[in-house]
A and B are shown apart, each in its own frame.
Chain A
Amino acid sequence: MAVEHPAATSPGDQTRIHNIGYRAYDGPRLGRSYATRSLYSQSLRGAYGLGRSVKSKVLPMLLFVVMCVPAAIMVAVAVATKAKDLPVDYTRYAVIMQAVISLYVASQAPQSVSRDLRFKTVPLYFSRPIETADYVRAKFAALASALFILTAAPLVVLYAGALLAKLDFADQTKGFAQGLVSVALLSLLFAGLGLVIASVTPRRGFGIAAVIAVLTITYGAVSTLQAIADAQDAGDSIAWMGLFSPITLIDGLQSAFLGATSAFPGGVGPTNGEGVVYVLVTLGLIAACYGLLMRRYRKVGL
């Protein structure tokens, strides 16, 4: 209803806003790669609840502690009993703790991407200098880094403990390095799978359930079939079955090339020839996840 009289705009707050005066920004604009890095660091911090509410810090921090405590106990035992070797191989640790890792992916992948979809924040990103590929790369890299921190931290604890217990340095360093390569691959694979599944649904709950389902059901099915095959002495097929679940994929890969003892029934991992297939499948899956994410976000747009 008000008639526009520029000289006498409504009093009170409005006038106070005017009087502050607008200052233009003529500082640097750091562009696309800086924006991508900012998104990466924000997502990585977010994966541990940093910069978010106290409530959202609880689960990731708890899982991080749960992940590290067994390593600390093993180290304590090794030091106290003056053991000749650590109770668990570096490469084996992630396989043993796979439930914790799965839970972490299931909880953090949806928070990373489903939120942006659900609250339709994605258009705000794409109305800025970054492109679809930058968004996907930043999110993928952030979750993979978060997973790497989660899985590598206990290895660092084990390695530090091993050095404290004055175990063989060369031996331990080699095992540690192999373990790091293994968890790096695991982080990329799990992050990719988690993000692809989570990016399909804007509902966080569905995302969590779907990620857990994919990771645990495939593992359950594969290990059951492997056990049956083992019982029926069909040992040859055990190795091939391992290709069909993420964690057995990593397990097979590292027992073929990273000096790990396999967790497969019968303790027989894939041969080197089979191992090549494991490597190809793992890398192929990671690439496929990246490709699917790119396709997904090309559609989301504005």
Chain B
Amino acid sequence: MTTGVAQVTTVDDVTVIATESLSKRFPRVTALDRLSVDVGPGVTGLVGANGAGKSTLIKILLGLSPATEGRAEVLGLDVATKGGDIRERVGYMPEHDCLPPDVSATEFVVHMARMSGLPPTAARERTADTLRHVGLYEERYRPIGGYSTGMKQRVKLAQALVHDPQLVFLDEPTNGLDPVGRDEMLGLIRRIYTDFGISVLVTSHLLGELERTCDHVVVVDGGKLLRSSSTTDFTQTTTTIAIEVTDTDAHPDGTRAVRDALHARGVELLEGGAGLPGAGHVLLLTAQGEETYDLVRDVVADLGIGLVRMEQRRHHISEVFTDGDAQQDTQRKEAVGHGG
């Protein structure tokens, strides 16, 4: 009964998604405009403002909506002819609410597993496993109607993973989550690849949150490819460390003491940080690698003051795309996203 399509190997350098001048035109709007992009295994972020063509791209990749021109392959299968085979080995988590409130998470996910072709027993086992992996325990027997937004997002994620796909499409998985829930969801997404071995294509209109999670980021705007590169490529130069220290009797102004000491060692501190929590007590500097962390540690230890925190501030991915109005827009949106 299994479909006779060759198992796609997940060796590195295998292309998971490939599109070639893919276009989608609706009568009044062009959703995708000659998009050509290759996505390898790992976690890939698809970033763009609302209406940039992200959801349209996912629909085409699932074989549900024909492209106006161009072609696309998912796991080596042509989307135009092998839609059914693709959908058997791919998971999809929609952006919007999609859960009936009157059934339990277990019942719902079991049903969805069977809809993916899993035999009844396997569907039940996989459901129990998957719900546990996404962090749902006793509550999985209660009707979904009573769940929090975070729990509902986990159920949505579970139904996308329950059939052990080779690739999942996650459409705005952090939408509507509070900062803690957002971090948990991002951690979970990271694990989908590192622990489960499932490649991920995750969309977001927030550039900042994807850089921590993704190996690779594809930026689209107005249906066009703006940039496609590995996250390390464009966050390396912009990794900023924020440090905050205590004051001691010897150094009544600890911040100033650290600033001077670092300056003496030739480390340039960045301006800014105003408006951030603890502004005035937070020092920002550009990390050149592991040595910078060691240097800060040594300087602070030598001065005998306490280090309250030292953390990466990598919210600057958007600065990479500073040409053109569209990017300005994106940046503004991101700023709003972070403020809210």
Q: A residues bordering B, Cβ < 8 Å?
A: 1-4, 6, 9, 13-14, 17-18, 20-25, 27-32, 34-35, 38-39, 42, 51-53, 56, 115-116, 119-121, 123-131, 301-302
Contacts and interface: CB of A to CB of B under 8 A. Distances in A.
Contacts of A14: 135, 184, 187
B1 interface: yes
Contact of B87 (A42, A115, A119, A127): A127
A283 to B, nearest CB: 31
A38 B64 contact: no
Contact of A34 (B1, B164, B195): B1
Contacts of B212: 4
Nearest to B197: A24
A52 B108 CA distance: 11
B119 A119 contact: no
B102 A17 contact: no
Contact of A119 (B62, B101, B118, B195): B101
B292 interface: no
A129 B116 contact: yes
B1 A31 contact: yes
B164 to A, nearest CB: 4
B117 A29 contact: yes
B112 interface: yes
Interface residues of B, number: 53
Nearest to B85: A129
Given A13-B135, A25-B163, A120 B96 contact: yes
B116 A3 contact: no
Interface of B: 1-3, 55, 59, 62, 64-65, 84, 87-88, 90-92, 94, 96-103, 107, 111-112, 114-119, 122, 126, 129, 132-133, 135, 143, 159, 163-164, 183-184, 187, 191, 194-197, 212, 311-312
B132 to A, nearest CB: 6
B115 A38 contact: yes
B135 A31 contact: no
A35 B116 contact: yes
Nearest to B102: A53
Contacts of A119: 97-101
Contacts of B65: 301-302
Nearest to B191: A18
A160 B159 CA distance: 46
Given A29-B3, A119-B99, A1 B118 contact: no
A13 B97 CA distance: 26
Contact of A29 (B2, B143, B195, B311): B2
Contact of B98 (A51, A53, A121, A131): A121
Contacts of A20: 132-133
A49 B114 CA distance: 19
Contact of B111 (A30, A42, A120, A302): A42
B98 A29 contact: no
